[in-house]
């Protein structure tokens, strides 16, 4: 009976586009049954042959559409931007929906993009494929997520990176003062499709869902107009990739739990905490063997190591141990270097841009950056970064005051003594040198606050109070 209804649905719901104008009830003919999460049915119902009907259901597709539009993102190989997604849905959804229900839908290749200076590759799906992946994600997450390990924090509902960092600190406070830092070598490029699909099939029996997931895994990569086939890896850039990564690495979590280890994992970034260096070295050897034999994954031997937690980076943070033995969270050195590199780009003195626009861009970037890194318990570090940023801005101002007469006018407007004005206006030092000294006092905190520059230390204080 259920399969007969499934065959009728494409004919009766051709107008069932995932757009807000058509969400008004039109009766129950051809409508999919409520999900077990709504009706109180057992989780097994989520895994049955009718799972694809739940994926393409109107309410699920509307929720997926809303999320894709919120996330925006770059176009895929078809060049269609997120702003045109609704128009594409009106034109093509009837056909695509029927192809999904009959199990013949084939995703388009992903567009290759480089991030972090080419160190990491992204595969950007088309906006339509991102919509379908998001719809799949919303249906599959309630099936898989409840069985994931409590030590897994990455890309899971209601969990944050901050919780993973705090849990890591808790283990160190309990005396596990050595960490096994595992770095999976090109994880998203090395995922074995057969091994991953075997784990998905443990809980999903709808062959149409399994087919479309495998086709997403095997979708080619468009490089300079040529489609390259992919036999392994999951394209990092689609909504479904993080869940698939967690499904595969759940075997690693279960193995570590079985051995009784204290560990924290966020996606492919995992640390195991032990009491001695020798124990950590034994764990690293055994886990390397497990990953290679069970999951066909490799560790990056240059980055995987056993060391003290305060010498390692985890999710952008590190730790330090006070004299009293208290463990505190601090910014990792690489995080400081990264925020300074971004600030240098925004405050490049050779970039012709108004100071107001420069400050606006800085505020946008630093606001989000501080929202994450305020977890660090080192306010002095933020004070140093804030002072360094103000000096960068003073350097930009000095660069703008190219002419001597302009310097006289601007320095007098700052209320500096005439002898200082004369000395500075005729100075031959570079902009970075001139941004220090008396210029620092004349263009201090009050001046930049009046210009609208965000105070990192003030935002840090407010965020810490609200937590």
Residue-wise pLDDT for 262-276, tens only, equals 999 999 999 999 999
pLDDT of residue 410: 87
Res 15: pLDDT: 36
Are 285 and 164 part of one and the same domain?
Answer: yes
Expressed as residue numbers, the domain containing 422 is 332-466
Are 205 and 49 contacting, i.e. CB atoms less than 8 angstroms apart?
A: yes
From 282, 311, 340, the end of a domain falls on: 311
On whether the CB atoms of residues 241 and 188 are closer than 8 A, the answer is: yes
Cβ-contact 420, 411 below 8 angstroms: yes
Task: Determine the Cα–Cα distance for residues 346 and 219; give it in Å rounded to an integer.
Answer: 37
Q: Is the pLDDT of residue 302 over 50?
A: yes
CA 334 to chain centroid, in Å, comes to 17
Q: Which residues contact 113 (CB under 8 A, 6 or more apart)?
A: 74, 121, 122, 123, 124, 237
Q: Which residue has the higher pLDDT, 350 or 269?
A: 269
d(CA 70, CA 85): 12
CB atoms within 10 A of CB 22: 13
Residue 222 inside a domain? The answer is yes
State how many domains the chain has.
2
Which of these three, 262, 282, 311, is where a domain ends? 311
pLDDT at 40 over 50: no
Residues 167 and 303 reside in one and the same domain: yes
- The answer on 407 and 301 residing in a single domain is no
Whether 42 is covered by a domain: the verdict is: no
Mean pLDDT of 220-249: 78
Q: Among 415, 412, 420, 413, which residue's Cα sits nearest to residue 437?
A: 420
pTM score of the predicted model: 0.82
Residue 30 has pLDDT above 80, yes or no: no
Low-confidence winner among 160-174, 323-337, 430-444 (lowest mean pLDDT): 430-444
**Residue 48: predicted pLDDT:** 64
| Residue 162 and residue 72 share a domain | yes
Q: Is residue 30 part of a domain?
A: no
Q: Bigger pLDDT: 267 or 33?
A: 267
Burial of 240 (C-beta count, 10 Å sphere; 0-12/13-18/19+): buried
In the 8-state DSSP scheme, what is residue 287?
Answer: H
Q: Which positions ≥6 away from 325 have C-beta within 8 Å?
A: none
Q: Is 246:152 a contact under the CB 8 Å cutoff?
A: yes
pLDDT for the residue 281: 97
Structure confidence at residue 352 (pLDDT): 85
Instruction: Tell how many helices (H) and how many strands (E) occur in the chain.
Output: 21, 10
Indicate if the pLDDT at residue 38 is higher than 60: no
Question: Would 12 be classed as within a structural domain?
Answer: no
Say whether both 298 and 396 belong to one domain: no
Q: Rounded to 5 degrees, what are φ and ψ at 157?
A: -60, 130
Q: What span, in angstroms and rounded, lies between the C-alpha atoms of 266 and 389?
A: 31
Is the CB of residue 68 less than 8 Å from the CB of residue 131? yes
420 and 294 in one domain? no
Tell me: do 127 and 82 sit in the same domain.
yes
**Is 70 exceeded by the pLDDT of residue 116?**
no
**Is 68 found in the same domain as 127?**
yes
Mean pLDDT of the chain: 86
- What's the average model confidence in pLDDT over 280-297? 95
Q: In terms of C-beta density within 10 A (0-12 exposed, 13-18 middle, 19 or more buried), how is residue 2 classed?
A: exposed
Q: Do 236 and 341 belong to one domain? A: no
Cα dihedral across residues 449, 451, 456, 460: positive or negative = positive
Does residue 208 register a pLDDT over 80? yes
In this prediction, residues 88-109 reach a mean pLDDT of 96
- Partnered with residue 121 across adjacent β-strands are 114
Whether 245 and 278 share a structural domain: yes
Q: 229 pLDDT band (50/70/90 cuts)?
A: low
Q: Is residue 125 part of a domain?
A: yes
Residues 293 and 244 in one domain: yes
Tell me, yes or no, whether 217 lies in a domain: yes
First to last CA, the chain: 53
Asked whether residue 14 is assigned to any structural domain, the reply reads no
Question: Do 275 and 358 fall into the same domain?
Answer: no
Q: How many Cα atoms occupy the beta-carbon half-sphere of 390 within 13 Å? A: 26
Q: Which residue has the tokens 């095997």?
A: 218
Task: Classify residue 321: in a domain, yes or no.
Answer: no
pLDDT, mean of residues 83-100: 96
pLDDT above 70 (res 161): yes
Cβ-contact 153, 266 below 8 angstroms: yes
Query: 231: which residues sit within 8 A by CB, 6+ positions away?
Result: 193, 218
Among residues 311, 343, 358, which one ends one of the domains? 311
């Amino acid at each position: 009976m259920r399969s007969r209804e499934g065959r009728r649905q494409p004919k009766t719901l051709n107008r069932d586009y995932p757009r807000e104008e058509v969400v008004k009830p039109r009766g129950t003919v051809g409508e999919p049954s409520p999900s077990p999460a709504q009706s109180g049915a057992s989780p097994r119902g989520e895994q049955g042959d009718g799972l694809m009907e739940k994926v393409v259901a109107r309410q699920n597709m509307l929720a997926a559409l809303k999320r894709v539009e919120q996330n925006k993102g770059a176009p895929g190989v078809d060049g269609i931007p997120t702003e045109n997604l609704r128009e594409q849905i009106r034109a093509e959804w009837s056909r695509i929906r029927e192809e999904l229900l009959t199990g013949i839908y084939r995703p388009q290749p992903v567009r290759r993009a480089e991030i972090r200076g080419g160190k990491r590759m992204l595969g950007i799906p088309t906006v339509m494929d991102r919509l379908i992946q998001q719809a799949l994600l919303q249906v599959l997450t309630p099936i898989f997520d409840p069985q994931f390990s409590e030590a897994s924090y990455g890309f899971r509902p209601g969990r944050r990176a901050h919780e993973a960092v705090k849990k890591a600190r808790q283990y160190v406070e309990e005396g596990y003062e050595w960490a096994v830092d595992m770095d999976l070598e090109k994880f998203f490029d090395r995922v074995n499709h057969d091994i991953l699909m075997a784990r998905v099939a443990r809980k999903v029996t709808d062959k149409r869902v399994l087919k479309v997931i495998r086709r997403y895994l095997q979708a080619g990569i468009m490089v300079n107009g040529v489609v390259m086939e992919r036999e392994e890896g999951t394209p990092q850039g689609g909504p479904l990739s993080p869940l698939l990564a967690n499904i595969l690495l759940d075997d690693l979590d279960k193995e570590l739990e079985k051995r009784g280890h204290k560990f924290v994992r966020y996606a492919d970034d995992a640390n195991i905490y032990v009491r001695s260096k020798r124990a950590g070295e034994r764990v690293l050897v055994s886990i390397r063997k497990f990953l290679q034999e069970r999951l066909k994954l490799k560790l990056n031997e240059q980055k995987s190591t056993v060391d003290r937690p305060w010498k390692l980076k985890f999710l952008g943070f590190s730790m330090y141990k006070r004299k009293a033995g208290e463990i505190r969270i601090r910014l990792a050195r690489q995080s400081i270097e990264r925020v300074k590199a971004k600030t240098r780009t925004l405050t490049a003195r050779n970039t012709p841009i108004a100071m107001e626009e420069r400050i606006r861009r800085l505020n946008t970037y630093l606001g989000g950056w501080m929202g994450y890194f305020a977890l660090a318990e080192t306010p002095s570090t933020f004070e140093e970064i804030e002072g360094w940023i103000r000096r960068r801005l003073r350097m930009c101002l000095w660069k703008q005051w190219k002419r001597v007469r302009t310097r006289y006018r601007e320095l007098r407007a700052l209320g500096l003594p005439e002898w200082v004005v004369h000395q500075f206006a005729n100075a031959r030092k570079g902009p970075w040198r001139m941004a220090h000294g008396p210029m620092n006092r004349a263009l201090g905190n009050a001046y930049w606050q009046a210009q609208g520059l965000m105070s990192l230390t003030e935002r840090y204080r407010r965020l810490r109070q609200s937590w």
